Amino acid sequence: MTAEYKVLGEVAVITLANPPVNGLGFATRVGITDGLAKALADDAVTSIVITGAGKAFSGGADIKEFGTPKALQDPNLLSVILALEASTKPIVAAIHSVCMGGGLELALGCHYRVVAPGTSIALPEVKLGLLPGAGGTQRLPRVLGVETALNMIVSGEAVKSEMLAGLPGQKLIDQLAGSAESLFDEAVIYAKSVAGKTGDALPLVRNLPCKHPQGDAYFQFARNMVGGMSKNYPAPLKCVDAVAAAAKMKFDDGLAEERRLFTGLMFTPESIALRHLFMAERAASKIPDVADDTPKREIKSVAVIGAGTMGGGISMNFLNAGIPVKILEMKQEALDRGLATIKRNYEAQVKKGKLKQDKYEQRMALLTTTLSYDELKDADLIIEAVFEELGVKEKVFKELDRVAKPGAILASNTSTLDVDKIAAFTERPQDVVGMHFFSPANVMKLLEVVRGAKTGKDVLATVMGVAKKIKKTAVVSGVCDGFIGNRMIEQYSRQAGFLLDEGATPQQVDRAVEKFGFAMGPFRMGDLAGNDIGWAIRKRRATERADMKYSRTADKLCELGRFGQKTGAGWYDYQAGKRDAIPSQVVLDLIEQHRKDEGIVPRKISDEEIVQRLVYALVNEGARILEDGIASKSGDIDMVYLTGYGFPIWRGGPMHYASQVGLYNVAEAMKRFAKNPRDDGNFWEPAPLIQKLVAEGKSFG
């Protein structure tokens, strides 16, 4: 059991002890009910304290148990809470650090709550595509009021205990402890003070009134607001329904309604996807052959080489985390330009009220510049973001090898070059790693950490820790062309080109994938990033991989200088100073002429085929990336696509989505695409890993 029981004088203490966050798994639930039974049977015990060991009171139901029989095995969470409510002896919850989800619901089933200041209190189930399923939607409105409770439940955001304790009329917190350190003693004293109370003298949250003065009108307003903000996500509106039930129904009827709504969400694809992401995001920081306790190098100062768009954005990440940054450039005017850009970005945030002036000044005070490599000698981590050409990287890394102190980590922001070759420019390949940021680097959450053959395990552990500090989702990639994300997006883009040849228009393709949920279709994305980037890669491919065929439309577009927004025209036309993508007759004529040149008779292509060919291209290449060991987990690939490429969150990422569709169905579609003479039959051979999983009736992950 993962709950401990002891008696201190006349106070029984039940301690949740299920690290890391006292998830209320089956063993913990059994521990609670066993402890409760002992306390009730012991005449010497006159009151009970429930508390949590370690870093949390409780992070809620055990997410790792979801979808398994244990999640619902009695005593399930609902019955544990009912048992607490039925106790004939007073129960005091002693709450510290984190009290979330089922953990808060458990506390609401107790008679009293003593809470440490600084405790994060939340019902975050909506972030998992669920709603509080153990009475939270019925009890929280009774202790905080309908509106405060509804805001917390629909947002899923944590609120600090001292803030809630200050709300007039709140009944969530009976006593705010002096400190986390004194919490337990204060809770025991509180328990003694209520000893002997029993029956109706014991306060139950369920008996508190729950009304809203405007009733239906308020909930209709809430539905309109929430409905408008939660497209593609069913849970938020169900949260409103559950809280409305609390305001309209008797408690037990409301509890039954909550249960109905909760079970209706548990198996929605959106909740399954969001729960997958919760685990995948945390699993991404785990590197199979790098132990969690691998010693990390201390990163107290960072140097960035290159003050361009990437260098500036990268620098801001560290400044935002309070880490001093020294930027090196070759010319003063480049430094001045880079600094001006960083200032402009911060000033824009201050203007929008997203950043306080004093914070802006603190961050700028951490930034220094230099024109000399010699001034980088004390940096703990040096990240180069210079021109994407191996010769330039060689010069930089040879200089870094000369000046950087022993133990400094030397990182390249390269997005396409071989990190092993870069490491070989130094005498310290074990200190070299790729840190591939995505533009804009200070905004995009994704960071591909590229592991060279000789990259040290402590270097990897350090960089993964730094990534968490600068709030990036870091995913480890092996060394290959394009790492994980760009290697997959190349196949996605190839399919987009073939679809134009065969009969689709850029706007049809973009509309289809944007309807599927992508933030931006491939052609709008090309116009934003610059079509010349893909053009350069295809030119390189023509020599390196002559077997890799592409539609020529993209090259013909670039030959017209239509690189996208930066040239005022790309796959779409753009009005000066505007980003609105306007379908272009020039492009449609170019595509039509190209079909004639190639002797292609255009055909009508369904949105379904468009989405399948683009998404399954990602899946097939993703499977090959797993086979090659470039990514270690399919969830890592999902995290790359969700945080770096605008894949719809509620679909869980390309690999998760394919598993939900069923790999058998995905493989059958691939085989159909392989028969298309205009396509690349070799590419559409389902990857061996997919064939193996289909044969075993399994999925990714």
Q: Restricting to residues 165-224, name those near ligand T1G by CB under 6 A.
A: none
- The enclosing H or E element of 106 equals helix 102-108
Asked whether position 101 contacts ligand T1G by CB under 6 A, the answer is: yes
Q: What is the DSSP string of 516-575?
A: HT-SS-HHHHHHHH-HHHHHHHHHHHHHH-TT----SHHHHHHHTT--BGGGTBSSEE--
Query: Minimum Å distance from CB 59 to ligand T1G?
Result: 3
Asked whether position 98 contacts ligand T1G by CB under 6 A, the answer is: yes
For 603, residues 6+ apart whose C-beta sits below 8 A from its C-beta are: 502, 503
Q: Which is nearer to ligand T1G, 235 or 484 (CB)?
A: 235
Catalytic residue among 85, 105, 384, 448: 105
Asked whether position 23 contacts ligand T1G by CB under 6 A, the answer is: yes
Query: Minimum Å distance from CB 6 to ligand T1G?
Result: 25
Could you give the C-alpha distances from 183 to 50, 115, 179, in angstroms and in order? 12, 7, 6
Residue located via tokens 């133990």: 407
Q: Which is nearer to ligand T1G, 121 or 408 (CB)?
A: 121
* Residue nearest ligand T1G by beta-carbon distance: 101
CA separation for the pair 82, 63 (Å, rounded): 21
CA separation for the pair 607, 367 (Å, rounded): 49
Q: Restricting to residues 136-165, name those near ligand T1G by CB under 6 A.
A: 136
| Binding segment (CB under 6 A) for ligand T1G, from list 32-40, 100-108, 423-431, 659-667 | 100-108
Query: Minimum Å distance from CB 244 to ligand T1G?
Result: 18
Which stretches does DSSP call E strand in 153-279?
Answer: 159-160, 175-176
- Nearest 5°: phi and psi at 99? -135, 95
Provide the phi-psi class of 680: left if phi over 0, else alpha when psi is between -120 and 50, else beta: beta
- x/- mask, ligand T1G, residues 275-304, rule CB under 6 A, reads -------x----------------------
Query: Minimum Å distance from CB 114 to ligand T1G?
Result: 20
Asked whether position 35 contacts ligand T1G by CB under 6 A, the answer is: no
Asked whether position 464 contacts ligand T1G by CB under 6 A, the answer is: no
The one among 12, 36, 134, 423 contacting ligand T1G by CB under 6 A: 134
Asked whether position 124 contacts ligand T1G by CB under 6 A, the answer is: yes
Q: Which is nearer to ligand T1G, 104 or 663 (CB)?
A: 104
The one among 105, 174, 501, 527 contacting ligand T1G by CB under 6 A: 105
Cis previous bond, 654, omega within 30: no
CA separation for the pair 245, 321 (Å, rounded): 43
CA separation for the pair 103, 111 (Å, rounded): 15
Q: What length does the chain have?
A: 701
Burial of 567 (0-12, 13-18, 19+ CB in 10 A): middle
Query: Minimum Å distance from CB 241 to ligand T1G?
Result: 15
Asked whether position 270 contacts ligand T1G by CB under 6 A, the answer is: no
Asked whether position 84 contacts ligand T1G by CB under 6 A, the answer is: no
Catalytic annotation on 105? yes
Q: Which is nearer to ligand T1G, 98 or 631 (CB)?
A: 98
CA separation for the pair 489, 437 (Å, rounded): 16
Catalytic annotation on 162? no
Catalytic residue among 85, 125, 258, 281: 125
Is 397 within 8 Å of 434 (Cβ atoms)?
A: no
Query: Minimum Å distance from CB 159 to ligand T1G?
Result: 13
Burial of 546 (0-12, 13-18, 19+ CB in 10 A): exposed
Which two three-digit tokens encode residue 159? 């609120």
The one among 20, 168, 169, 677 contacting ligand T1G by CB under 6 A: 20
The one among 31, 90, 133, 622 contacting ligand T1G by CB under 6 A: 133
Active site members: 105, 125
Please give the residue ranges that form the binding site for ligand T1G (CB under 6 A). 20-21, 23, 56, 59-64, 77, 98, 100-102, 105, 124-125, 128, 130, 132-134, 136, 282
